[in-house]
Amino acid sequence: MWPPTPLCCYAGEVTSEAQPATPATAADPNPQEDPDRARSAAEEDEDEGFGLREALDALGAKLLSPLAELGMLSKMAWETTFWAVRPPYRFRLLIRSMEFIGVGSIFIVGLTGFFMGAVLGLQLVDGFRQFGAESQTGAVVGMAMSREIGPVFTALMVSSRAGSAITTELGSMRVSDQINALITMAVNPVQFLVAPRVLAGLLTVPLLTMLFNIVGLAGSYLVATGLMGIDPGVFLGRMQWIVDWADVAQGLVKACIFGFVVTLIACRQGFYASGGAAGVGQATNRSVVHNAIAILALDYMITAIILGQGL
């Protein structure tokens, strides 16, 4: 059979001529993004920016907090000075505060002074003997006690004992609304609570410093002459020859400033305490730490001003 029958003619098969292949759809050059994914990416970027701003804000607050604290202390110092010279004068509160700060600190100040003088005498005699200058022990102990060790250690002891107690007392009054009750009764709380304590610290810390010096010199004398073999006449003679009243006055000036600052910081932390019992504990902790830093920093500044160098 010629010509051959096309395959398209077989029974049961219906085919059409070959059709051109449909070209593949070209890929969309700008496919639409998933809105959920885009939203989550934007939120992540926003969170990262917010976290950075929050960290910068916290850093700025930390850097500016000392200046803010100095501002609060300056404000309270001005208010205390203003209300301390205005009537009514509450001498009973002043005497009570002097008894608490001064009389109550006699034991701890005397004990600290004795052992401080004893260890100072022991170390100085042992060190001076290496080059034959142990006869100068009395003079060095007297000058160090009167200028530096006496006022600094006395202020530290007062801040640890009386300052922390003042902060706790005023903080408890603040969180229990007793200070607000004074305002309601037309009683100025700064004049009633802060001024007597600050004035008592100003008056009693110099007296405690003199006690520290006397007991410390006694402890150094006992160790140097009784245990280390220093001649008592040489010890006292060198001290009288070198130590002058100007050295004692320098220590007393420091003690007055330390007494004012220690009680002021303690009152400030307690007066503005907040947060219940936990806040009172934190205020007491801040009071002790701030007082220690203030004492050491002021000690250097006052010494540099008196000596006329170092600033």
Query: Each residue of 179-225: pLDDT tens digit?
Result: 999 999 989 999 999 999 999 999 999 999 999 999 999 999 999 99
Q: Which residue ranges make up each domain of the chain?
A: 71-306
Q: Output 78 or 46, whichever has higher pLDDT.
A: 78
Cα 294 from Cα 201, distance rounded (Å): 15
Q: How confident is the model at residue 57 (pLDDT cuts 50, 70, 90)?
A: confident
Question: Does residue 293 register a pLDDT over 60?
Answer: yes
Instruction: Report whether 295 contacts 196 (CB < 8 A).
Output: no
Contact 265, 292 (CB under 8 A): no
pLDDT tier at 305, thresholds 50, 70, 90: very high
Residue 65 has pLDDT above 90, yes or no: no
The answer to which of 5-14, 173-182, 219-228 has the lowest mean pLDDT is 5-14
Assess whether pLDDT exceeds 60 at residue 243: yes
Provide the percentage of residues in the chain whose pLDDT is more than 90: 59
Non-local (6+) Cβ contacts of 44 within 8 A are none
Using an 8 Å Cβ cutoff, are 101 and 209 in contact?
no
Amino acid identity for residue 189 in this structure = P
pLDDT range class, residue 41, cuts 50, 70, 90: low
On the question of pLDDT at 32 being above 70, the answer is: no
**277 against 47, higher pLDDT:** 277
**Residues with Cβ within 8 Å of residue 197, at least 6 apart in sequence:** 97, 101, 166, 263, 266, 267
> In the prediction, which pLDDT does 15 show?
42
Q: Which residues contact 104 (CB under 8 A, 6 or more apart)?
A: 161, 162
| Burial of residue 268, with CB atoms counted within 10 A of its CB: 0-12 exposed, 13-18 middle, 19 or more buried | buried
88 cis-preceded (ω within 30 degrees of 0): yes
**Separation of alpha carbons 89 and 195, rounded Å:** 10
Distance CA 157, CA 108 (A): 7
With 50 as the cut, is the pLDDT of residue 1 above it? no
Q: Determine the Cα–Cα distance for residues 204 and 168; give it in Å rounded to an integer.
A: 20
pLDDT reported for residue 48: 58
pTM: 0.79
Which pLDDT does position 46 carry in this prediction?
A: 56
CA-closest candidate to residue 117, choices 237, 239, 231, 203: 239
| SS3 state of residue 308 | coil
pLDDT-based confidence at residue 37 (cuts at 50, 70, 90): low
Above 70 in pLDDT, residue 144? yes
Q: Longest C-alpha distance within the chain, in Å?
A: 154
Least confident of 57-71, 176-190, 213-227, 293-307: 57-71
**Are the beta carbons of 271 and 170 closer than 8 angstroms?**
yes
- Quote the mean pLDDT of the chain: 85
pLDDT of residue 5: 47
State whether the Cα torsion 290-296-297-298 is positive or negative: positive
CA proximity to 263, closest of 229, 290, 301, 299: 290
Mean pLDDT to the nearest integer, 66-86: 90
